[in-house]
């Protein structure tokens, strides 16, 4: 059933791509094709959360990385606001509604029997422990072991050594499922591609500092999360190339959406269909940057691949201290000349909700208006369109002075 | 700092069962297991969401309202997403007593043991500086020996519970465990010895009440034990991180003391923070057999992700083995006590009926 859904969506996106090669369409096409490839028994399928794993390691092997979170959340039912049907499948098996909808959704999909069989189940301890728990449940269902990349909270030489050693161990597991030895040259290439893509993304972000903003922060956020799967692949480089071409064409032709307010968004945009972005667009409030799309890591060192990938994992703002998130957010308020900040909280995202008061206070201190929207990434039962409408309208009125 | 505290032995709060008390003892301090100390929330809602784990809410509110002024320092650990943030909230909004942060790996292998040793070394260094004391290898070995002895005695008490009927009421044993984690170690050693030497009245085997095992996380509290006992069942065993799980495994002292301590804590039976659902189910099954358990009560604090996941796994696992299981959630102060009482009474009655018809 997952295959049919993705095949249908792939056909639609490919029709669009035939019209014109757009960066985001290319990304979505790659994502859909990747989900379908995960069902191919000829290529080992590796479960992973791309946004919480240094993917460059996987692209050095012939495997299909399957982002089980993103794949389940992009099902048409979820995006159209009917994801709770799957979630009920986990709830009736005792998984409480106080567990994040991402996790309930995956367990629901598992119980519906729509997930591909995996050959290796990788997960990490960031952002949240829910994903590690879910990954273990899915792996156990297939009688497999779940491998956890444990990333400590603090960055120090011992932590780097610790994470790098785990990545070496994971490389050995990848060698076992593919039956091929890790080729250091391939890993080097993967890291090189990641660095090139990182550089081009920074160029795109420079464009986004312009007023009006020539790209959309919501798309940047979606790419930041779903597209993380492709760090280290040629796909990620191509997405950026197309995006850059589109942006410069838009600027050249003066085809940029006018904007009255520039919004910074954090932490994630909802997957389910909401009225939020329609209201913002109608009011010429443009999301120009999103936290999930920040480039938080320095260029990777091709000659010390495991250590630099360990560092990338450790530097993820959702691993360590909130202070790092605060610094990044406050800096981007200046860099992107932000008029207002919107926080979209997911009911059961415990680590995010506990971090929020410190971030809220820092933004307040910065003197920028902040709207705290509570909702849910994908469970429509925890989202109220009318309440959201009222709150955003009030916020926009406030911005208008 | 409070004048009295400079004279009395320094008290260091800790919360998670993965925090080695040995380090605190070797620093010449008294370990005190941290508990939420408020009965009513007043300030917390302006800081934290209502749906954050109630242990965290309670500890944070206790800190905000200066309930921990008798402590000199607190050790927070990377136990879960919430605890990790609690350390930061503490450092940001409360500051005193001084907070330390201890990394605890989630995997159990040599790489993780080495990393845990380095985290413990960091903690040791910080405490040496703050408490102006050298935490020598001898002091650590001494602390390890002391803790091992106490663990051994507590395990002996838990082991005796295999008898039918169990010699000790679960609530008494729980009380002893609570005191063990709070009182000066001298005093608690006497209490444990007393419990070991006490002769319990032998009841006739025919009258034995349903034998329950309490599993789950930290929030399994005295209230729960009383509710179970009042409804006519015995809490024969509690394998929570305040119970047998906490005391299982000794510091071997074969390696350098820090490494030995790290290994003891990392390789002891796990709680739900760690991967290893299958291994935990195996342990549970073994305990159910050894202690001739009639039913399991799984207790969790509201909004604790770990217990939400684990309870969903335990329920079908035990039901498949025809063992009754009940999941109860509390808000740390058990304001839902009456509702839980009704559920426990029905649960015990169901077990009694099952035994009658067996
Ligand atoms: S929304 Fe929060 S709890 Fe849910 S998967 Fe994402 S990080 Fe984890
Ligand atoms: S349940 Fe586990 S993580 Fe939580 S306090 Fe107990 S030992 Fe620590």
pLDDT in tens, B127-148: 999 999 999 999 999 999 999 9
Check for a shared fold between B11-137 and B166-198+208-357: yes
Q: Distances in Å between the alpha carbon of B327 and those of A10, B208, B278, B344?
A: 44, 24, 19, 10
Confidence label for B202 from pLDDT (cuts 50, 70 and 90):
low
Q: Do A354 and B48 touch (CB under 8 A)?
A: yes
**Minimal CA separation from B5 to chain A, in Å:** 31
For the CA of A134, the nearest ligand: 1
What residue's CA is closest to ligand 2, atom 2? Answer: B271
What residue's CA is closest to ligand 2, atom 3? Answer: B79
A133 contact B CB<8A: yes
The pick from B18, B53, B265, B269 for probing ligand 2's pocket by mutation, whose C-beta has the most ligand atoms within 8 angstroms, reads B18
- CA-to-CA distance for A366 and A174, rounded, in angstroms? 46
Q: Which residues contact B187 (CB under 8 A, 6 or more apart)?
A: none
Q: Which residues contact B301 (CB under 8 A, 6 or more apart)?
A: B53, B54, B55, B217, B218, B219, B307, B329, B330, B331, B332
Question: What does DSSP say about strands A370-375 and B11-14: parallel, antiparallel, or unpaired?
Answer: unpaired
Query: Which of B227, B214, B171 lies closest to B195 in space, CA to CA?
Result: B171
Confidence label for B1 from pLDDT (cuts 50, 70 and 90):
very low
pLDDT above 50: residue B190: yes
Q: Do A130 and B305 touch (CB under 8 A)?
A: yes
Q: Which of A162, A350, A357 sits opposite B82 (nearest CB)?
A: A350
B345 contact A CB<8A: no
Expressed in angstroms, the distance from the first to the final Cα of chain B is: 63
Give the distance between the most distant pair of CA atoms in chain B. 65
pLDDT in tens, A13-56: 999 999 999 999 999 999 999 999 999 999 999 999 999 999 99
Per-residue HEC secondary structure of A183-217 comes to: CHHHHHHHHHHHHHHHHHHHHHHHHCCCCCCCCCH
- CA-to-CA distance for A372 and A391, rounded, in angstroms? 9
pLDDT score recorded for residue B173: 95
pLDDT score recorded for residue A5: 95
H/E run at residue A65: strand A64-67
- CA-to-CA distance for A204 and A202, rounded, in angstroms? 5
For the CA of B33, the nearest ligand: 2
- CA-to-CA distance for A208 and A219, rounded, in angstroms? 12
**Minimal CA separation from A316 to chain B, in Å:** 15
pLDDT above 60: residue B4: no
pLDDT above 90: residue B7: no
- CA-to-CA distance for A28 and A6, rounded, in angstroms? 11
H/E run at residue B115: helix B110-130
- CA-to-CA distance for A336 and A288, rounded, in angstroms? 7
Query: Which of B33, B30, B38 lies closest to B5 in space, CA to CA?
Result: B30
**Minimal CA separation from A194 to chain B, in Å:** 28
Q: What value does the mean pLDDT take over residues B49-58?
A: 91
Paired tokens of B7: 């004279």
3 state DSSP class of B61: helix
Decide: B144 and B210 in contact? Cβ < 8 Å.
Answer: no
Paired tokens of A122: 């990788």
B316 contact A CB<8A: yes
Q: Which residues of B touch A165 (CB under 8 A)?
A: 111
pLDDT score recorded for residue B117: 98
Q: Do B309 and A169 touch (CB under 8 A)?
A: no
3 state DSSP class of B78: coil
Q: Which residues contact B140 (CB under 8 A, 6 or more apart)?
A: B22, B23, B26, B257, B258, B261
- How many Cα atoms are found within 13 Å in the side-chain-facing hemisphere of A122? 30
Burial class (CB in 10 A: 0-12, 13-18, 19+), B142: middle
- CA-to-CA distance for A92 and A89, rounded, in angstroms? 6
Decide: B80 and B56 in contact? Cβ < 8 Å.
Answer: no
Strands (E), A297-339: none
- Segments making up each domain of chain B, as ranges: 11-137, 166-198+208-357
Q: How many C-beta neighbours within 10 Å does residue B216 have?
A: 30
Chain centroid to CA B193:
21
pLDDT score recorded for residue B200: 67
Question: What does DSSP say about strands A261-267 and A285-290: parallel, antiparallel, or unpaired?
Answer: parallel
- CA-to-CA distance for A199 and A206, rounded, in angstroms? 11
What residue's CA is closest to ligand 1, atom 6? Answer: A349
Q: Which of B81, B111, B278 sits opposite A351 (nearest CB)?
A: B81
Decide: B20 and B169 in contact? Cβ < 8 Å.
Answer: no
pLDDT above 70: residue B262: yes
- CA-to-CA distance for A234 and B263, rounded, in angstroms? 43
Calculate Rg over the CA atoms of chain B.
Answer: 20
Sign of CA dihedral B141, A161, B15, B222: negative
pLDDT score recorded for residue B40: 87
pLDDT above 80: residue B9: yes
Residue B73 backbone phi and psi in degrees, to 5: -160, 160
Distance, CA A236 to ligand 2 centroid (Å)? 40
CATH code for B166-198+208-357? 3.40.50.11900
pLDDT above 60: residue B203: no
Decide: B245 and B327 in contact? Cβ < 8 Å.
Answer: no
Paired tokens of A251: 């600027």
Paired tokens of A83: 């994801």
Q: Mean pLDDT of all residues in chain B?
A: 92
No. of helices (H) and no. of strands (E), chain A? 16, 8
Q: Where are the alpha helices (DSSP H) in A208-321?
A: 217-226, 234-253, 276-282, 305-315
- Tell me the residue length of chain B: 358
pLDDT score recorded for residue B184: 86
Ligand 1-lining residues (CB < 6 angstroms): A 100, 102, 127-128, 130-131, 346, 349, 352, 377
The residue written with tokens 């905000």 in the block is B64
B11-137, CATH topology level? Rossmann fold (3.40.50)
H/E run at residue B348: helix B337-357
Query: Which of A362, A295, A368, A357 lies closest to A334 in space, CA to CA?
Result: A368
**Minimal CA separation from B303 to chain A, in Å:** 6
Distance, CA A180 to ligand 1 centroid (Å)? 34
Q: Distances in Å between the alpha carbon of B241 and those of B40, B79, B113, B250, B275?
A: 25, 12, 20, 15, 16
pLDDT above 80: residue B220: no
Query: Which of A130, A49, A52, A124 lies closest to A316 in space, CA to CA?
Result: A52
Query: Which of B329, B332, B309 lies closest to A129 in space, CA to CA?
Result: B309
Chain centroid to CA A67:
10
Q: Which of B92, B278, B311 sits opposite A358 (nearest CB)?
A: B92
pLDDT lower than 70: segments of chain A: none
Residue B333 backbone phi and psi in degrees, to 5: -105, 5
- How many Cα atoms are found within 13 Å in the side-chain-facing hemisphere of A198? 18
The residue written with tokens 């009639």 in the block is B294
Q: What value does the mean pLDDT take over residues B161-178?
A: 94
B56 contact A CB<8A: yes
pLDDT in tens, A161-200: 999 999 999 999 999 999 999 999 999 999 999 999 999 9
pLDDT above 70: residue B204: no
Strand partners, B33: B14
Distance, CA B297 to ligand 2 centroid (Å)? 18
Paired tokens of A234: 């040629």
3 state DSSP class of B246: helix
């Amino acid at each position: 059933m997952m295959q049919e859904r993705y095949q249908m969506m792939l056909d639609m996106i490919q029709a669009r791509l035939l019209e014109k090669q757009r960066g985001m369409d290319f990304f979505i096409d790659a994502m859909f094709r990747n989900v379908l490839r995960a069902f191919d028994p000829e290529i080992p399928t590796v479960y992973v959360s791309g946004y919480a794993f240094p993917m460059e390691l996987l692209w050095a092997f012939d495997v299909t990385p399957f982002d089980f979170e993103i794949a389940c959340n992009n099902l048409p039912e979820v995006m159209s606001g009917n994801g709770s049907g799957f979630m009920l499948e986990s709830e009736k098996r005792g998984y409480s509604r106080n567990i994040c909808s991402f996790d309930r959704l995956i367990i629901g999909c598992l119980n519906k029997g729509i997930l591909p069989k995996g050959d290796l189940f990788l997960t990490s301890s960031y952002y949240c422990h829910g994903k590690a728990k879910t990954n273990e449940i899915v792996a156990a269902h297939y009688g497999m072991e779940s491998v956890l990349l444990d990333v400590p909270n603090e960055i120090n030489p011992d932590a780097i050594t610790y994470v790098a050693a785990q990545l070496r161990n994971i490389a050995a597991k990848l060698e076992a499922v593919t039956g091929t030895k890790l080729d250091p040259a391939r890993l080097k290439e993967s890291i090189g591609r990641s660095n090139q893509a990182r550089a081009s993304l920074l160029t795109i972000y420079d464009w986004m500092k312009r007023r009006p903003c020539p790209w959309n922060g919501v798309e940047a956020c979606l790419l930041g999360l779903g597209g993380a799967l492709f760090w280290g692949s040629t796909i990620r480089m191509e997405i950026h190339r197309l995006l850059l071409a589109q942006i410069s064409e838009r600027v050249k032709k003066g085809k940029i959406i006018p904007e009255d307010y520039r919004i910074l968004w954090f932490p994630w945009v909802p997957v389910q269909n909401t009225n939020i972005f329609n209201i913002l667009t109608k009011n010429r409030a443009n999301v120009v940057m999103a936290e999930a799309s920040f480039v938080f890591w320095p260029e990777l060192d091709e000659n010390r691949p495991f250590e630099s990938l360990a560092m990338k994992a450790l530097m993820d703002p959702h691993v360590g201290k909130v202070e790092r998130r605060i610094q990044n957010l406050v800096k981007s308020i200046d860099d992107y000349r932000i008029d207002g900040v919107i926080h979209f909280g997911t009911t059961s995202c415990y680590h995010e909700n506990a971090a929020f008061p410190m971030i809220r206070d820092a933004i307040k201190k910065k003197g920028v208006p902040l709207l705290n929207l509570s909702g849910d990434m994908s469970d429509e039962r925890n989202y109220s369109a009318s309440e959201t409408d009222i709150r955003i309208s009030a916020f926009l009125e406030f911005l208008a002075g | 700092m409070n004048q009295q505290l400079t004279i009395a032995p320094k008290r260091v709060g800790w919360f998670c069962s993965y925090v080695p008390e040995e380090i605190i003892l070797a620093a010449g301090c008294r370990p005190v297991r941290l508990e939420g100390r408020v009965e009513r929330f007043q300030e917390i809602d302006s800081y934290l969401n209502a749906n954050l784990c109630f242990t965290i809410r309670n500890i944070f509110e206790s800190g905000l309202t200066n309930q921990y002024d008798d402590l000199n320092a607190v050790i927070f650990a990377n136990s879960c997403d919430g605890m990790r943030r609690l350390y930061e909230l503490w450092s940001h909004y409360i500051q005193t007593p001084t907070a330390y942060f201890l990394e605890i790996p989630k995997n159990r292998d040599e790489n993780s043991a080495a990393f845990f040793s380095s985290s413990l070394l960091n903690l040791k260094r910080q405490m040496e500086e703050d408490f102006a004391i050298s935490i020598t290898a001898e002091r650590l070995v001494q602390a390890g020996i002391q803790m091992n002895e106490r663990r051994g005695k507590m395990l002996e008490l838990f082991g005796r519970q295999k008898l039918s009927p169990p010699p000790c009421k679960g609530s008494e044993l729980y009380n002893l465990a609570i005191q063990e984690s709070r009182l000066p170690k001298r005093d608690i050693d006497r209490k444990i010895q007393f419990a070991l030497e006490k002769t319990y009245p032998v009841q006739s085997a025919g009258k034995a009440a349903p034998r329950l095992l309490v599993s789950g996380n930290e929030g399994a509290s005295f209230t729960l034990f009383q509710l179970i006992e009042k409804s006519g069942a015995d809490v024969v065993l509690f394998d929570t991180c305040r119970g047998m799980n906490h005391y299982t495994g000794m510091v071997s002292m074969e390696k350098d003391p820090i490494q030995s301590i790290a290994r003891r804590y990392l390789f002891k039976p796990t709680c739900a923070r760690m991967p290893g659902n299958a291994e935990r189910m195996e342990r549970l099954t073994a305990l159910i057999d050894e202690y001739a358990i009639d039913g399991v009560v799984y207790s969790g604090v509201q909004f604790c992700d770990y217990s939400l996941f684990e309870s969903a796994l335990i329920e079908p696992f035990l039901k498949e083995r025809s063992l009754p299981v009940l999941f109860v959630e509390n808000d740390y102060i058990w304001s839902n006590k009456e509702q839980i009482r009704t559920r426990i009474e029905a649960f015990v009655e169901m077990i009694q009926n099952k035994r009658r018809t067996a």
